[in-house]
Amino acid sequence: MPGNSFGTIFTVTTFGESHGPALGCVVDGCPAGIPLSTQDIARELRRRRPGGGGPATSRAEADEPELLSGVFEARTLGTPIAIIVRNTNQRSTDYDALRDVYRPGHADWAWEAKYGVRDHRGGGRSSGRETLSRVAAGAVAKRFLSEYGVTVRAWTSAAAGIQVIRPEDPGFSLEEAEANPLMVPHRESAERIMERIETLRAQNDSAGGIVSCSVMGLPPGLGEPVFGKLDARLAAAMLSLGAAKGIEFGAGFAAASGTGSSRNDCPVPKDAARLSPAVPALRYQTNNAGGILGGISTGMPLEFKVAFKPVPSISKPQQTTDRQGAIRELIIQGRHDVCIVPRAVPVVEAMTALVLTDLLLLHRCDTQIRIST
pLDDT at 284 over 50: no
pLDDT tens-digit series, residues 308-365: 999 888 888 888 888 888 888 877 777 778 999 999 999 999 999 999 999 999 998 8
Q: Which residue has the higher pLDDT, 270 or 67?
A: 67
Please state which architecture CATH assigns to domain 5-250+289-372: 4-Layer Sandwich (3.60)
What's at 274, amino acid-wise? Answer: R
Q: What is the pTM assigned to this prediction?
A: 0.90
E strands along 29-186, which residues? Answer: 65-69, 71-72, 75-76, 81-86, 151-159, 162-163
For the chain, which residues make up each domain, given as ranges?
Answer: 5-250+289-372
pLDDT at 289 over 70: yes
pLDDT tens-digit series, residues 141-190: 999 999 999 999 999 999 999 999 999 999 999 999 999 999 999 999 99
pLDDT of the residue at 176: 96
What is the C-alpha end-to-end distance of the chain, expressed in Å?
A: 30
Residue 315 C-alpha from the chain's centroid = 26
E strands along the chain, which residues? Answer: 5-6, 11-16, 22-28, 65-69, 71-72, 75-76, 81-86, 151-159, 162-163, 209-216, 244-249, 292-293, 296-297, 302-308, 318-321, 327-330
Span of 162-176, 223-237, 271-285, 355-369 with lowest mean pLDDT: 271-285
Inter-residue contact 135 to 196 (CB < 8 Å): no
How would DSSP label each residue in 232-259? HHHHHHHHTSTTEEEEEETTGGGGGGS-
**In what helix (H) or strand (E) does residue 179 lie, and over which residues does it extend?**
helix 174-179
Inter-residue contact 107 to 126 (CB < 8 Å): yes
Secondary structure of 274-312 as H, E, C letters:
HHCCCHHHHHHHCCCCCCEECCEECCCCEEEEEEECCCC
What's at 152, amino acid-wise? Answer: V
